[in-house]
């Protein structure tokens, strides 16, 4: 297992501190604002992730054995969650991504509740889509 990507290291440092729900929410929104925007073409129906209360799009590129994802959404807090997901997965070799425990990642950040089955915010649906993309990719 390679070391955490630098941005993930930084996210972990920020979010694992004892902070109030309000600070956490503000931080999430700030992280969301750093998401690289998707083009109109990328915000297409096939890239849209079903099962989200808000609109979420996910695109993934596989090259030279590594995955690179980009994502966006129309709600602000989900954008923050997406940003925290991307910093953890981007640049990973395919085999490492396939065994990565993303629920544990969000737990470490104090955001495990956003993955609970009763949540319809779509983070779970995004993880499922990511898994589908990586499983179907040519090796």
Cα-based distances in Å from 89 to 22, 23, 32, 48: 26, 24, 16, 19
Q: Can you tell me the distance from the alpha carbon of 57 to that of 123, in angstroms, rounded to the nearest whole number?
A: 11
- Phi, psi angles (nearest 5°) of residue 16: -85, -5
- Closest approach of other proteins to the CB of residue 120, in Å: 6
Which residues are registered as beta bridge partners of 63? Answer: 66
- Give the nearest distance from C-beta 95 to other proteins in angstroms: 34
Residue nearer to other proteins on the CB measure, 7 or 77: 77
What torsion, rounded to 10 degrees, do the Cα atoms 36, 42, 47, 49 define?
Answer: 40
37/138 with CB nearer other proteins = 37
Catalytic residues: 52
**Residue 54: CB minimum distance to other proteins, A:** 4
Residues that bind other proteins (CB under 8 A): 21-22, 25-26, 29, 53-55, 74-78, 120-121
Report the C-alpha gap between 107 and 6 in whole angstroms: 19
Nearer to other proteins, 77 or 100 (CB): 77
């Amino acid at each position: 297992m390679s070391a955490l990507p630098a941005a993930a290291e930084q996210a972990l440092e920020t979010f694992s501190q004892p902070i109030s729900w309000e600070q956490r929410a503000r931080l999430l929104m700030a992280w969301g604002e750093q998401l690289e925007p998707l083009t109109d073409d990328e915000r297409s129906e096939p890239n849209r992730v079903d099962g989200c209360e808000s609109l979420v799009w996910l695109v993934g590129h596989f090259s030279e054995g590594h995955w690179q994802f980009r994502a966006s959404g129309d709600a602000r807090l989900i954008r923050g969650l997406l940003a925290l997901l991307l910093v953890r997965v981007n640049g990973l070799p395919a085999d490492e991504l396939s065994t990565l425990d993303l629920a544990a990642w969000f737990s470490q950040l104090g955001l495990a509740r956003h993955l609970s089955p009763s949540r319809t915010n779509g983070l779970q649906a995004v993880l499922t889509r990511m898994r589908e993309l990586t499983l179907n990719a040519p090796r």
